[in-house]
Structure 1
Amino acid sequence: MYRREPAPLPELPHISTRPVNDEDDAVLADLMERAYAGTIDEQLGGNSDGAVEIAAWRPTAVPDASFVIDQDGLRAASLISRHGNDFWLGYVITHPDWKGRGLGSAVVAASLRALDAPVLAAVTDGNTPSERLLTALGFTPVPN
């Protein structure tokens, strides 16, 4: 598990983001399936159905702090949820054709700016790209 306290973010290239909306759900589900295919997180929450995952996220979603990059289709997303008093970075999703271009960092940074509150994140053991992204944005590991 990781935690980030409110603090200035590192300099990032400017990439336009927008808040997620209800009409994005089907495209988010498809993006999630594409992004996670062949990765350590392919089975998502015990299945490989992005629509099920997005539907499960919606009841605890914080849409004003969840962002997408929409450039001729969704390229990346940062989905925030709230559980009790805690904000969680539930998903960071980047289309496989667009990985390694800073899109994940851009959407997570937009979420962090919108919240200005502590944020928690869980990472699957062995998901090194997610661990690097979180660390680069100021998240620190916390004991379970």
Structure 2
Amino acid sequence: MDTARHTEQMNRTVYRRAPGPVPVLGQNLRLVDDEDDAALADLMERAYAGTIDEHLGGNSDGAVEIADWRPDAVPHASFVAEEDGIVAASLISKNGDDFWLAYVITHPEWKGRGLGTAVVAASLRALDAPVLAGCTDGNTPSERLLATLGFTPVPR
């Protein structure tokens, strides 16, 4: 797929982060495992409901999105934060030679506490490689998170 053309049609900007130091944030982080899929699907539906990304991917079914992510998943760099269940996740995928921040998901009741930043920072530390991320234009929390962690827009 032509990523640049695809992101323009979706009104999304591609960001890139070069390898480098990443802050250590958060506690209660662990790697994603196969048994997390149902919880991740539920978390995704709750987190995206009513947001600019609610219908990204053509549906709002978290189980479909997680199943679509799994074939290209990078489990050694995908993390969840737990507080009486999974409350945030950073899901990394690989497309060719490129690592992608596929999803950053935070439960609505846990937003604004730095958990999204913590799980993404853990993913970046695990990879120590360039990482790309697509962000819907106008998704201010995601744009802010990416900028905080050193991502910069890729020229179109």
TM-score of the two chains, using structure 1 as the length reference: 0.96
1:16-71 deviation per Cα after TM superposition (whole angstroms, max 9, x unaligned)? 21000000000000000000000000013110000000000000000110000122
5+ long unaligned stretches in structure 1: none
1:133 corresponds, among 131, 134, 145, to 145
Looking at structure 2, the residues matched to 120 and 129 of structure 1 have their Cα atoms a distance apart, in angstroms, of: 17
Looking at structure 1, the residues matched to 26 and 104 of structure 2 have their Cα atoms a distance apart, in angstroms, of: 18
Looking at structure 2, the residues matched to 68 and 81 of structure 1 have their Cα atoms a distance apart, in angstroms, of: 15
Looking at structure 1, the residues matched to 26 and 96 of structure 2 have their Cα atoms a distance apart, in angstroms, of: 32
1:72-112 deviation per Cα after TM superposition (whole angstroms, max 9, x unaligned)? 11000000000000000000000000000000000000000
Is the counterpart of residue 5 in structure 1 residue 15 in structure 2? Answer: no
Equivalent residues in 2 for 1:1-144 (5 A)? 1-10=14-23, 13-144=25-156
CA RMSD of aligned residues (A): 0.9
The answer on whether the counterparts of 1:3 and 1:120 sit within 8 Å (CA) in structure 2 is yes
Sequence identity of aligned pairs in percent? 77
The residue identity in structure 2 corresponding to 1:6 is P
Looking at structure 2, the residues matched to 14 and 106 of structure 1 have their Cα atoms a distance apart, in angstroms, of: 5
The answer on whether the counterparts of 2:22 and 2:149 sit within 8 Å (CA) in structure 1 is yes
The answer on whether the counterparts of 1:44 and 1:53 sit within 8 Å (CA) in structure 2 is no
The residue identity in structure 1 corresponding to 2:115 is L
Number of equivalences? 143
- Compute the displacement of 1:143 (Å): 1.4
TM-score of the two chains, using structure 2 as the length reference: 0.89
The residue identity in structure 2 corresponding to 1:116 is D
The 3 A distance-change label for structure 1 pair 61 and 13 is closer
